[in-house]
Amino acid sequence: MESKKNPQANVGRNSSLYFAIGLALMLFLAYSAINYKTYDKSDIDIGQLNLEEEIEEEIPLTQQIVTPPPPPPPPAAPEVIEIVEDEEEVEETVIESTEVDQETEIVEVEEIVVDAVEEDIEVPFAVIENVPVFPGCEKGSNAKKKACMSAKIQKFVQRKFNTELASDLGLSGRQRINVIFKIDKTGNITGVRSRAPHPGLEKEAARVINLLPKMKPGRQRGKPVTVPYSLPIVFQVQD
C-alpha cells in the first residue's frame, strides 16, 4: 500500500526557522511589557486650574512706635536794659610815632666797649707746654720740673698725712686713696676730690692736698691755664 503523505508537505523541514521567529517575538513582547510605563491621571491632566483653594499669606505683625512730641520751648526772658552812668573817665593811651623828620635832633652814641671774657681753659698735666712750678723746682727743663713737682708733692703728703687714722677707723691692710685736684691760673689748689674705702680717709686726703703751697701756674701758648692733677696715695696699715 502506498503512502499518501506529500513529500513536499514536511513540517519539520523549517522548524528551526519557526523556532527562531517565535523566540524573537516572545523576547520582544517581554521587553515591551517590562518597559511599559503608566502615569497618574492627576499628573497628566495639566489643562485644568483649580481656583477653589486660596493661598494663605502670612502677614507679619508690626508695632508702630509712637514718638512723644517735643517739649515746648521755654518762654523767652524779658529783655532788661540796664543803663549805667558813665562816671569814670578812661585815659586814652597815646602811641607816639617813631618817624623822624628834618626837625628831629639826632643824638650821637658813644663807642660801646665790650669787655672780653677770658675762658677758663684746662690743659692736662702730661701735655702742657710749661708745667706748674712747685716751690723749689724752678730750675731745669720742663721734664725735670714735672719730676721735681711729683717728688715734692709725694714727700709733702707723706709728711702731712695721718696714717694712724686708718687704724682708728678699724681698717687694716693696704689702703689706696685716689685724689684729683686742679692748679688754677693763679697757682692755687682748687676742686679737690678724693675717693677711698672710708669717708674718713677721703676727708684726710682732701685736708692734706688743700695744705699744698701756692705754685707758679702752668702756661699754654704764653697764657696761664688751669692744670688738673691726679695723685694716688697708697699706704700700709700697721696691725
pLDDT tens digits for range 130-180: 999 999 988 888 889 989 999 999 999 989 998 888 888 888 888 899 999
Query: Strand 223-224 relative to strand 219-220: parallel, antiparallel, unpaired?
Result: antiparallel
- What separation in angstroms does the CA of 219 have from each of 102, 132, 222? 58, 8, 6
Residue percentage of the chain with pLDDT more than 70: 63
- Tell if the pTM clears 0.75, that is, is over it: no
DSSP labels for 71-84?
Answer: PPPPPPPPP-PPP-
Nearest CA-CA partner of 236 in 177, 194, 148, 180? 177
φ/ψ of 31, rounded to 5, equals: -65, -40
Residue identified by cell 508690626 is 62
Distance CA 137, CA 149 (A): 7
Axis-axis angle for helices 142-160, 199-209 (nearest 10):
130
Residue identified by cell 692736662 is 124
Cβ atoms of 233 and 206 closer than 8 Å: no
List, for residues 87-120, the tens digit of each pLDDT value. 556 566 666 666 666 666 666 656 666 555 566 7
List, for residues 178-211, the tens digit of each pLDDT value. 999 999 999 999 999 999 888 988 999 999 999 9
Res 140: pLDDT: 87
E strand residue ranges, the chain: 173-183, 189-195, 219-220, 223-224, 227-237
Nearest CA-CA partner of 153 in 229, 75, 63, 100? 229
